[in-house]
């Protein structure tokens, strides 16, 4: 498994994973392109034999020393093999190397990835009941 910085050529496959993982709550393709431009090196992809199997998007927040994990997705066929953990750790390492001492993310309260986030040191910092609109709660988690 190879984790590397995404190239422009990867963006279509990243968008496909985003849609598969998040459906109507996924980021639009143009946002992924803008994020790739805005935060060079913060869109990481995992590939094996030239097949994109997952990605993570991270970025620095507005507050000094704060970063965000904005999106993490793994292809269904590659789940349960530790790839999400590897991608998340790579993003955390990248943000910390940029001076981020606090890293945040949001997650559905019933998302199985919640356990992964906890194992990597994220703790629940709050809950927003209507994060994406009515009936769309998210937990806000922080690693510091």
Query: What does the pLDDT look like over 47-106, one tens digit per residue?
Result: 999 899 999 999 998 899 999 999 999 999 999 999 999 999 999 999 999 999 999 999
Q: Which domains does the chain have, with CATH numbers?
A: 2-143 (3.40.630.30)
Give the Cα separation of 12 and 26 in Å (integer).
13
- 3-class DSSP state of 82: coil
Give pTM, 2 decimals: 0.92
So what's the pLDDT on residue 100? 96
Contact 45, 4 (CB under 8 A): yes
Angle formed at CA 134 by CA 130 and CA 136, multiple of 5 degrees: 55
Pairing of strands 138-143, 102-107: antiparallel
- Is the pLDDT at 132 greater than 90, yes or no? no
Which pLDDT value is given to residue 139?
Answer: 96
Assess whether pLDDT exceeds 90 at residue 33.
yes
Distance CA 34, CA 106 (A): 20
Instruction: Give the residues across from 59 on adjacent strands.
Output: 68
């Amino acid at each position: 498994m190879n984790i590397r910085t995404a190239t422009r050529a990867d963006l279509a496959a990243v968008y496909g994973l985003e849609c598969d993982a998040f459906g109507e709550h996924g980021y639009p393709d143009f946002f992924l392109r803008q994020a790739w431009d805005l935060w060079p090196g913060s869109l990481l992809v995992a590939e094996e034999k030239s097949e994109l199997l997952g990605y993570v998007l991270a970025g620095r927040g507005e507050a000094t020393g704060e970063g965000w994990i904005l999106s993490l997705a793994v292809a269904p066929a590659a789940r349960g093999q530790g790839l999400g953990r590897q991608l998340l750790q790579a993003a955390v390492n990248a943000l910390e190397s940029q001076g981020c001492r606090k890293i945040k993310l949001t997650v559905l309260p019933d998302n199985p990835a919640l356990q992964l986030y906890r194992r990597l040191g994220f703790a629940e910092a709050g809950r927003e009941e209507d994060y994406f609109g009515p009936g769309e709660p998210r937990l806000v988690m922080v690693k510091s």
